[in-house]
Amino acid sequence: MSEVAERWGSRRAFIMAMTGAAVGLGNIWRFPYMTGENGGSAFLMLYVIFVLLLGLPVMMAEILVGRAGRRTPMQALSHLALENGHSRHWRLIGLMGAATVFFILSFYSVVSGWSFEYMFDALGGNFTGMSPAEIGGSFNTFLADPFKVIFNHTLFMLLTMSVVAAGIGSGLEKLNNLLMPLLYLLLFVLVGYGATTSGFTTALSWLFTPNPAAIDITVVLNAMGHAFFTLAIGACALMAYGAYMPDRQSLPTAVIAVACLDILVALLSGIAIFSIVFSQGMDPASGPGLMFVTLPIALADLPGGNIWLGGFFLLLAMATWTSSINLAEPMVAMLQSAGLKRGVAALLIGVGVWLMGLPSALSFSSLADWTPLEGKTFFDLVTSIPTDIFLPLGGVLIAIFATWIMDRQRAFDALGASTTLCRGWLWVTRWISIPLVIIVLISSLWHQG
Ligand code: PHE
Ligand code: NA
């Protein structure tokens, strides 16, 4: 259980690694459809509030534990707990995190596979001359084909696990740092396209005009879960990366930069998608297919449409690739500390997650009628419960650990900020973030039962 010696090459490299984990399907795919299903501006407002009040403090808590421990999440948790006279059972937070990301990665891979399919289709010219209605229809036809869906899911898992097996510091990060600015640029182009459509002003007012009447406990729970999901926190995934954080770097500065970028990407994607939704007279609440039926309509309309579309899905695949590598990290770290070699750990996890992904892949075909709970398909459940319940639960435990269990000076040192900032973080985490998560989780359980 000794400390790791490796560090990310530079402060910038660490910020890039965090950004790679944070920016992904959460921003471009999940944020728009969740906003659409949860009353537009009401969801957006709550999501931003949760990112500020919970996301930033908990993200700092999570990374500082990894940084202070300089070990895999479970080892860091038990080391820091023992050191301060507490039980080593606190490491079970790491176990819960590994279980949570197991389920999240299973559907993440399936949905990333959808964008592979779109990339291949676009580059093959399949969207040429299709009407918006045909584009919408082709999505459902694709989802109903178990062979294609599983093929892409398999491909995605292979790509992810081969990088995971190689360990951090592979060439992928460098490639990604080079390509992500292009994705952001393309999102600006899409917003620009959106601005030329008739739905643009409706989209803006639907997203930004406050609508507190649309808020209920479900919207609150969904927005809270999404804040954790999009920032990649609550499952010890960023904690694992924190172990390699350079020695001299301010954690608050890095975290604020990543969160701002994460919100920006979500907003761009939301504005682009809802402009198309409203100009095409579509339903904002049409669910997980929203991005797949709107963005091709816009991009296929530009000159050289297939290239734009293929490029977009390629960049999206890159973004989801780096997120899924981070998703796998808590599991790999856990198996590694149990004595397995990295490659073997990656293989086991890859096979397990692939199998777990199958019911999600089939939720739109052979398992479409299988609704284990409250009329929801397996896909509906696996995309909501781990994110909305288990990420916040893990996050609140990590926050409790960082502010009540581990040594205070250790925590402040790992934050790497001024004493005032450290005290501010401690106060907000203890008295705002932790109670807020607990209140939301309990009220929604109350509401269910
Ligand atoms: N933050 C990623 C996204 O927005 C998803 C993720 C969740 C990654 C949890 C790691 C851990 O797509
Ligand atoms: Na995100």
What is the C-alpha radius of gyration for the chain, rounded to an integer number of angstroms?
A: 21
The second-level CATH assignment, the architecture, of 11-448 is: Up-down Bundle (1.20)
Delimit the domains of the chain by residue range: 11-448
Report the separation in Å between the CA atom of 135 and the middle of ligand 2, taken as the mean of its atom positions: 26
Residue nearest to atom 8 of ligand 1 (CA): 232
* DSSP assigned state of 39: T
Is the pLDDT at 140 greater than 80, yes or no? yes
- Backbone CA torsion sign across 285, 287, 293, 299: positive
Ligand 1, closest atom to CA 27?
Answer: 4
Q: CA 249 → CA 5, 258, 297, distances in Å?
A: 16, 14, 43
Ligand 1, closest atom to CA 231?
Answer: 1
Is the pLDDT at 257 greater than 80, yes or no? yes
Q: What angle do CA 229, 234, 237 make, to 5 degrees?
A: 90
- Pocket around ligand 1 at a 6 A CB cut-off: 21-22, 24-27, 104, 229-230, 232, 235, 237, 323, 326-327
Report the separation in Å between the CA atom of 325 and the middle of ligand 1, taken as the mean of its atom positions: 10
Helix axes 41-50, 217-231, angle to 10 degrees: 50
Residue nearest to atom 11 of ligand 1 (CA): 232
pTM recorded for the entire structure: 0.96
Q: What is the ipTM of this complex?
A: 0.98
The stretches of 387-432 forming alpha helices (DSSP H) are 391-400, 408-415, 419-428
Cβ contacts of 227 within 8 Å, gap of 6 or more: 47, 50, 51, 54, 55
**Which ligand has the minimum distance to the alpha carbon of residue 21?**
1
Looking at residue 37, its amino acid is E
Work out the percent of the chain whose per-residue pLDDT is above 70. 98
Is the pLDDT at 401 greater than 70, yes or no? yes
Q: Which helix (H) or strand (E) segment is 344 a member of? A: helix 342-361
Ligand 1, closest atom to CA 391?
Answer: 9
For 25, phi and psi rounded to 5 degrees?
A: -55, -30
Helix axes 171-195, 290-301, angle to 10 degrees: 70
Ligand 1, closest atom to CA 319?
Answer: 12
Q: What is the pLDDT of residues 221-251, one digit of tens each?
A: 999 999 999 999 999 999 999 999 998 999 9
Is the pLDDT at 449 greater than 90, yes or no? no
**Which ligand has the minimum distance to the alpha carbon of residue 229?**
1
Report the separation in Å between the CA atom of 85 and the middle of ligand 2, taken as the mean of its atom positions: 36
Q: What is the pLDDT of residues 171-218, one digit of tens each?
A: 667 778 888 999 999 999 999 999 999 999 999 999 999 999 999 999
Structure confidence at residue 169 (pLDDT): 60
**Which ligand has the minimum distance to the alpha carbon of residue 323?**
1
* DSSP assigned state of 373: B
